A and B are shown apart, each in its own frame.
Chain A
Amino acid sequence: MSQPSQAQVIEGVSPRHTSTPRDSGLAFAPAGVAHLVVVAGDAPAAERLARAWAQAGRPGAFTLLLDGPPPPLPDGVSCESSAGPDALESAVRDRLSRASVGLRLYVAGPEGFVRRLAVAAATAGLADDEVLVEVRGSGARRVWCAHCKVVTEGATHDLVPCAGCGRSLTVYHHFSRRLGAFMGFQADAEVAGELPEVHERWP
C-alpha cells in the first residue's frame, strides 16, 4: 500500500471489494423481537422506522434514543432524548448491557458516530446481522494513525493532520471494524514535504 500514485487514491481497486463498510441501510427488521433505535441528527429517519414498526404490527418493544426533540411517533414507542452523541453512546451501552438475544439495533447519524456505535455494539456482543446502520449527514471519517495510534475524528479530505502526532495522514481505503476507523499513514514519509493533492471527499 503506502504511497498511492498521484492520479487517484483507489486505482485498480473496486470500492465494492475494499474493507470499506457496506452498510445495511436503515430498513425495519420484523424478525427482531425488540428494537433499539439510535439516531443522531436525523429525527425523520427515526420517525420512518417507527412507522414501519407500527405497520408491521408492532412486533416487540420499540425504543428510540436521539439527540434532540422527538419527532411525531406512533403509540407504544418509548423515547428518550440525550444531550449529544457521547451521551447517546453511553445510553446505548447501558441498555445493551441489559438486553437479550432477539434485539435489533438501528443506528443512523454521521459517519463517525455510526462507526463508534458499531464498535460499541460489537463490544456488547451483537453480531453483524443484528445491527442495521445508515450514514445520514456528514461522511467525515475517523482515521487511525498507524504511527501514534490516535484516532482523528472528522476527516473530510483525503489528507488530514493527525490529532495525536501532527503528521499529515493519507486517509487510506482500508477500514478496521475493531477500531471503527480508516487507516491513516504519513503522506510524505518518502520525501518530507512532498504531499499529494488534497481533495475533499467526505463532506
Chain B
Amino acid sequence: MAVTTIPVTVAGVEPYGPDVRALRLIPEPGAALPAFSPGSHVIVHVPGERVRRNPYSLACAPSSTEAYRIVVRRIADGRGGSRALHDEVEVGDRLQIEPPRNLFAPVLPARRHLLIAGGIGITPFLSYAHQLRAAGVPFELHYGVRDGAAIPLLDELQRLCTGAGRLAVYVDPKGASLLAVLEPILGRQPLGTHVSTCGPAPMMEAVVAAARRHGWPSSRVHLERFQLDLGPADPFAVRLGLDGRELQVGADESLLEALESAGVQVSYLCRQGVCGECRTGVLAGVPDHRDAYLTAPERAANTAVMPCVSRCASGPLVLDLV
C-alpha cells in the first residue's frame, strides 16, 4: 500500500545513557503533526541501503501537534534500524514517519489502571499518564529500570503522576524488584481495574503469569507487543495471463496499485481486503493471502487472490487478467 508519510526533522536528541536516546521530531514549517490517542505509535522509515520500517511509541502528550518524541533503544544485533537512529541520524536530519496508529489503547471504561513498564517499555505509558491525569482516573505506574543514572522520561512522569496517579520506580540491574512487588499489587485491585504492561518479553510473561495466579481474566490484561505492520515486504513478478506481459510489483506498492499503474482495470471497493470486489483469478504461482475475504478452502486452492492486500509467496503470480 502506498502509504502517506509525514516529513519530519530531528530537532533535538536527548541521550539517556549510552544505549537510549530520545528524538524530538518536528513537522515542516507551517504544518502541524496529527494529535493522537494514548498508546499510539508511528512507523519511522529509517534511511539506509534498505529502508527499515520501525515502530516507536509516541512518548509525549497526545495533544502534541508541534513536536513528537520517540525514545529509541540501540539494539546491537537487530536489523539495523535502531543502530542507524543512534549512530547515523543527527539533529537537522529529515525522516519520513507514517501517521500515528494505535494498537495499545488503554481501556476507557476502566475504573483504575495498573501500568507495568520494563525499561524502554515505559514509552507508551507517558501518553497514558497525560490522558489519565486529565481525566482524573486513578492509576499506578510501576517502572523498572536497570540503571538509575539516566532514567528516560522520569521528570515528566513525576510531574504527571500526582493526584490520582502514582509512580514507583525500581532500579535493579537484574530487573527482579519490579516483579517482586507485583504479587501484592495484583491481589488488591478493586473490580474494574485493568493491567497493561510493556517491556522485554520475559518481563511481560511474568506479569501475565502473576496476573493469572491472582485470578485476573484475560480481558483485563493487556500487552504491547510491537508487531511490525504487515506491510509491503518484497517485490515480486506478476504475469497477465499465461502468455501475457510481465509486471513487477514494488516493495512499497500493493498488487492492485501495480496493476492500476500498468493500466489494468480491476474493480475495487474497500481496498482493505474485506469486501471481495477485487477478486482475481490465479492461473499459476502461489499467492500470499493477507485478506479477510476468501474462505480457508479458497485460500488453499490458490485459484483466487485479493490484489488490494495480498502478495506472492511463490512466483511469478500468473493472473487471469489481460
Contact = CB atoms under 8 A, between A and B. Distances in A.
Nearest to B190: A100
Contact of B216 (A60, A102, A126): A102
- Interface-central residue, A99, A127, A129, by most chain B CB under 10 Å: A127
Contacts of B192: 101, 124-126
A31 B187 contact: no
Interface string B181-217: 0000011111111000000000000000000101111
B215 A34 contact: yes
B218 A33 contact: no
Given A127-B219, A129-B219, A33 B191 contact: no
Contacts of A103: 191, 215
A128 interface: yes
A130 B217 CA distance: 7
B215 A104 contact: yes
Interface residues of B, number: 17
Contacts of B188: 100
A96 interface: yes
Nearest to B216: A101
A16 to B, nearest CB: 19
A163 B224 CA distance: 50
A32 interface: yes
Contacts of A31: 212, 215, 217
B212 A101 contact: no
Contact of A60 (B186, B212, B215, B220): B215
Contacts of A32: 215
Contact of B191 (A60, A101, A129): A101
Interface in A96-130: 96, 99-104, 124-130
A102 B215 contact: yes
Nearest to B214: A102
Nearest to A126: B191
Contact of A127 (B187, B215, B217): B217
B219 A125 contact: no
Given A31-B212, A33-B214, A100 B219 contact: no
Contact of A125 (B187, B190, B212): B190
A104 B191 CA distance: 11
A21 to B, nearest CB: 17
A101 B218 contact: no
Given A99-B191, A100-B187, A126-B191, A33 B217 contact: no
A100 B211 CA distance: 13
B115 to A, nearest CB: 15
B225 interface: no
- Interface-central residue, A34, A102, A128, by most chain B CB under 10 Å: A102
Contacts of A34: 215
B217 A100 contact: no
B215 A124 contact: no
Contacts of B216: 101-102
A165 to B, nearest CB: 33
- Interface-central residue, A34, A101, A124, A125, by most chain B CB under 10 Å: A101
B207 to A, nearest CB: 14
A130 B219 CA distance: 9
Contacts of A99: 190-191
Interface in A57-97: 60, 96
A33 B188 CA distance: 12
Contact of B189 (A60, A101, A128): A101
A127 B212 contact: no
Nearest to B111: A125
Interface string B127-169: 0000000000000000000000000000000000000000000
Report the 5 A-B pairs with minimum CB-CB distance, sorted nearest first: A125-B192, A102-B215, A33-B215, A125-B191, A129-B217
Given A127-B220, A129-B217, A130-B217, 14 more contacts: A31-B215, A31-B217, A100-B187, A100-B191, A101-B191, A101-B215, A101-B216, A102-B214, A104-B215, A124-B191, A125-B190, A125-B191, A129-B219, A130-B219
20 contacts: A31-B212, A31-B217, A33-B214, A34-B215, A96-B191, A99-B190, A100-B187, A101-B186, A101-B190, A101-B192, A101-B193, A101-B214, A101-B215, A101-B220, A103-B215, A124-B192, A125-B191, A126-B191, A127-B217, A130-B217
